[in-house]
Amino acid sequence: MLNKEPDTAERVTDLESRIVFLEDTIETLNGELAELSREFRLAKQALQHMYKRMEHMQSGDSGIANPADEPPPPHY
């Protein structure tokens, strides 16, 4: 009868190595997901800010004078 213990020990070692690799991968992916979530939140805030500015500009409340609406300078 053959001794199966070396195969079992190798399998356990292989499984332990895979677990360590998977844990590292999960930790890396979790960090990337957190960073992407932060970037998405910032992009969403910037987009909301731009929409508000566009609404103000369309309502004529931009705070920026339109040169076409101003009278010509006195030297014309």
**Predicted pLDDT at 1:** 47
pTM for the whole structure: 0.57
**Predicted pLDDT at 35:** 98
Q: What is the pLDDT of residues 10-52, one digit of tens each?
A: 999 999 999 999 999 999 999 999 999 999 999 999 999 999 9
pLDDT band at residue 75 under the 50/70/90 scheme: confident
Handedness of CA 63, 65, 71, 72 (dihedral sign): positive
Between 8 and 62, the more confident residue is 8
* 3-class SS letters over 19-67: HHHHHHHHHHHHHHHHHHHHHHHHHHHHHHHHHHHHHHHHCCCCCCCCH
